Structures are given as structure tokens and as C-alpha cells.
Structure 1
């Protein structure tokens, strides 16, 4: 052992493991998939490759330090130590899911299947793990700083977001609320509001711009269509499908949010209102009548180690 710093390896269940969990046995899972005309071999090969990369990583890391293997579902309950080094092995979304539960710990993101995952947040391959871990231990690395968004409600609830925040209805229905920004206020009815960080600006936010461009048949904020910087000190909000009526307006439907903007949303829904971040509905906050959500930049910043 050459380091006292703990290595936390973050993984997620493969599709094969999820099928086994759902159908109790691999035999039943295979029957179901093949009954639908799909190839079960794809699931098996993916599971084999992913498991192989995890085993290679853990076997090496155990030779230099203590190792903790952590599955995604327990991230929210795990207490990270300040000097932990976090190694994420999986898809881009797993990196984002992990960052929101950290507080300054460096993240090494490994792409286990470069032929499958695009890997914008996964700069390293498993063969590069040894070098980048040793460089991290010696302090010879640089990081991309990842800005985060934060929700605080008038009831004292807090939620962090690495990619985006959704505020709206739980189901396919309309949300009613008052949106406030820069001392302007508007009562709205829509299918919800998306607030995006720089990291999330090439995801859900990008699809919103693409849809708006397709409807308008003209360029919309050309400088935003490829996203904005991960470390941006601002967010962008977009109201989905705003409905104009006698009581509801459509003026404050898109714009930039800074910590000086005073962005908030006050629910006017008796039930079924929700706030969640990064697509994780399990951590949702209720957004029903009487709840006011205040959106701002978080003081917490993620640190994703860069490939030089």
C-alpha cells in the first residue's frame, strides 16, 4: 500500500443485472427478452465487459490503497471522506449522479465501453487508470470545475443539481405557479420548467432549443445550441409548453439565471407538483400549494479530472 487515501469505485447495475432483479433468475429474464425477439447475447456481452473493467480497476487499486466499491443506488446515503479519490466507471450520467453527492473530492471517470458510450464526461480508458491515479496522488493533475444548481424552499428543503432541475407536474398534466425573476412576476400554466447548468446544457436543455428552433424555423440563441461552459456562474431556465390565457402569461419563458436574478417559483397546485434534479425522481421535493422554490448557483463545485 502506497497511499492512505481511500479509493471509492462507483458503479451501476448493468441491464442484465436489472433484468435478473426484475425476473428473479437469468433464465426467466432470457425467456422474456427472447420472447420479444431481442438478442439476450447483447445483454450478456455488455455485462461481461463492464464487470471485467470493474475487476481490473479494483484489483489494481487494492495494491496501492483501501478500496470501497459503491453501487449508484446507495450514493445518497454514503458518507464520503474529504480526502477520498472517486473513480466512476460507467456512463456519463453516472458521473453527474456522483458529483452531486461530493464536496470537492476529485473524480476520475473511466469509459468501460468506448464503442458504446460517447463519454463526454469519461475521458479515461481502463488502461490509463494506473497513470492517472498515481498522478492524482502526487497532485500532478488539473480538473474541470463543474458548476451546480441549488433549490431551496420556504419549508427548508434543499436539492442540488449537476445537470438540470425540473419543476412541474408528476404526470402528463399542467402545472400552475407564479414565476419570478429580476423583480418581474408572471402566473403561468405549463408542463413544467427546466433549469439547466453548463454541464447539462448539452442534454435536456439542448433538446428544448432544438424543438423551439424546429417550431420557429429560425436560429435561436446560436451561441447556446452547443451548450455553455461547465463552470459558468449562471443557469438557464426554459418553460415547457407555456399556455396563454386570461390568467396566465407567456412572457418570462426563457432566460439566464444568476445569483442576482432572484429566481423563484411559487406553486399554485393543490397536488402532484414535484421538484427533482438530474432525472432522479426518488429524491424529489413536493411542489404543491404554498411551496416557494428559490433557484440559485450552489457554492458546491464538482472537480472532474481532465485528460491532458
Structure 2
């Protein structure tokens, strides 16, 4: 007998909850914000909308299903099952936060505060949750298979990301490395290398693309290819700048060999979950074998 589907509601603490955790009471939080020219009323209103959205989605889960909730800070300790339907209630970035912990489970993105989010990944409203949950477990479910990027170090450390992977210095120092893959090897000194997907092409990746004059199209979210850019490559007698941008198709990878004391690689801006690299180590970045199945 197969298990009933489980709806896993993913959410994050609101600004109001974070203020209470820091200041203890509503009054103290209000005093803190008031001293900085802000009103707690707006913060509380957003909190109420977020809480109402989570309650509405929870109420839409079929009675025969199981249900669980997980806060963003606890994602790395939560065990997702193959029968799960993941419902992200919040902002677009929360979908990226959960993506690397999944293995093919369908994801429904629900916008908790319409009008404040772009809605690229949280495309739906709370009122649509019941229909979307039923559709997610249907064999004919309509999903977008969003390409992900994966980085694998030579010591088997690995990470996946929905938007981009950054490889570079942990602070503001210069990263030194040897770059290879898709062309001749080149020793480089730069602020790091960004390798991103079509989903990430609306954010950090796009800013680098625009700095390069917008030459060549960026990938679409479902395209099985990545774009990469070197940030602020420095020319010197020992380092070059001839390879500062490119495209990686499925099966191709960009390889960096570390030639400085310490580099890090992290995905989707989460520096706390980084791969640590040191002298002589290498890392390969390419299209991940898994994709994010976003219910449309």
C-alpha cells in the first residue's frame, strides 16, 4: 500500500517575528522601529498577510493527505520524501532556498504578498492551492523543468543551486586560480566567477551580462545550458583576461584549480553553506542532472 501524498509547506519567519525574537515584546519592537523613523504597523500588516497565506494553503490540503511545515532556517535538517508535494508560501527566493534539497518532487509556488514579489517562481495565489495540489500529483501534471547548476570539488564536496554558483574569495581579496574547460587554460586573478542558469538570468547574472554590453542571449529558465562570467579579471604578466565569459551546454563544465590560500563556492547567495577550497584543489561547475519541477 502506497503512502498518501504529503504536502510540505515551506515558509520563512516574518520581519515581525524576527523583531520579536530580538526585542522580546511588541512594544519594544515598536520603540526600536520608531526611533528609526519606521512604523511597526506596516511590518505587522505584512506579518498578518503571510500568516493568513500559510493558514489558507494548509486548509486547502486534501483531508486524506499528510501535512508538514518547515521554516527556511530548518531546511537543511528536514528530510523530504519521494511522495512529497512541496508548497512554498512566500517570496521567489524561498523557492531557490528549497530547490537544492529536492530530488524531483513537484513544487508549487504561492505568493504570500502579491504586489511585493516579482512572482517569477511564486506564480500562484492562495485561492488556487487546492487545485494546484491535485494537479501536482496527476500523471498529466504540467510542470516547468527549471535547469539547475551543480558544483563538484575534487574531494567530493558538492552543491546545487537554482540561480547561480559563485566561486571566489571569501572576502574582498583577489582570487587566484587556473580556469579550463571549453577553451585553453588560463591563469586568472579576479573577484571570482559566477555561473548561472536561466532562472538566475533575472538577477546577479543579468547585472554582469549588462556590464558586458548585453552581448549574446542569456539562457531561458528551462534551457539546459548555463552562462558564466569572470568578475573584474586583472591582467598581469602572470594572469590573463582572454576568457571572461561563456556558455556551458549539458555535459560541459568549467574547471577551476585553486592557486591561492582559500576560495569558496556557494549557491544562490547562501554563504553559510559553502564549499571550502585551498591550494591545488579543483572544482567543476556544470548543468546539474536534476532540475526543479515547478508546477504551472
State the TM-score bracket (shorter-chain normalisation). Answer: over 0.9
Matched ranges for 1:124-139 at <5 A: 124-139=124-139
What is aligned with 1:256?
247
Q: TM-score, normalised by structure 2?
A: 0.94
Shift of 1:184: 1.2
Matched ranges for 1:156-305 at <5 A: 156-213=156-213, 220-221=215-216, 223-224=217-218, 228-271=219-262, 273-305=263-295
Shift of 1:163: 0.6
Aligned-partner Cα distance in 2 for 1:130–1:262: 41
- Deviation readout 1:253-295 (Å, 9 max, x if unpaired): 0001134444200111213x21100111111011221220111
Shift of 1:15: 1.3
Q: Are 1:264 and 1:294, in contact at CA under 8 Å, matched by a contact in 2?
A: yes
Shift of 1:64: 3.9
Aligned-partner Cα distance in 2 for 1:282–1:116: 26
Aligned-partner Cα distance in 2 for 1:230–1:161: 13
What is aligned with 1:143?
143
Count of aligned pairs: 294
Superposition RMSD in Å: 1.6
Q: Secondary structure at the match of 1:207?
A: helix
Shift of 1:62: 6.1
Q: TM-score, normalised by structure 1?
A: 0.91
Unpaired stretches in structure 1, ≥5 consecutive residues: 214-218
Q: Secondary structure at the match of 1:59?
A: helix
Q: Are 1:145 and 1:231, in contact at CA under 8 Å, matched by a contact in 2?
A: yes
Residues 23 and 177 (structure 1 numbering): CA distance in 2 closer, same or farther, change over 3 Å?
Answer: farther
Q: Secondary structure at the match of 2:43?
A: helix
Unpaired stretches in structure 2, ≥5 consecutive residues: none
Aligned-partner Cα distance in 2 for 1:144–1:138: 15
Q: Are 1:50 and 1:113, in contact at CA under 8 Å, matched by a contact in 2?
A: yes
Q: Are 1:183 and 1:262, in contact at CA under 8 Å, matched by a contact in 2?
A: no
- Deviation readout 1:22-79 (Å, 9 max, x if unpaired): 3333333222211011122111110000001101111232634211011111112211
Q: Are 2:103 and 2:290, in contact at CA under 8 Å, matched by a contact in 1?
A: yes
Structure 1's consecutive aligned runs of 4 or more residues displaced over 6 angstroms after TM superposition are none
- Deviation readout 1:133-177 (Å, 9 max, x if unpaired): 222334342000011111111111111111100011111221111
Q: Are 1:198 and 1:229, in contact at CA under 8 Å, matched by a contact in 2?
A: yes
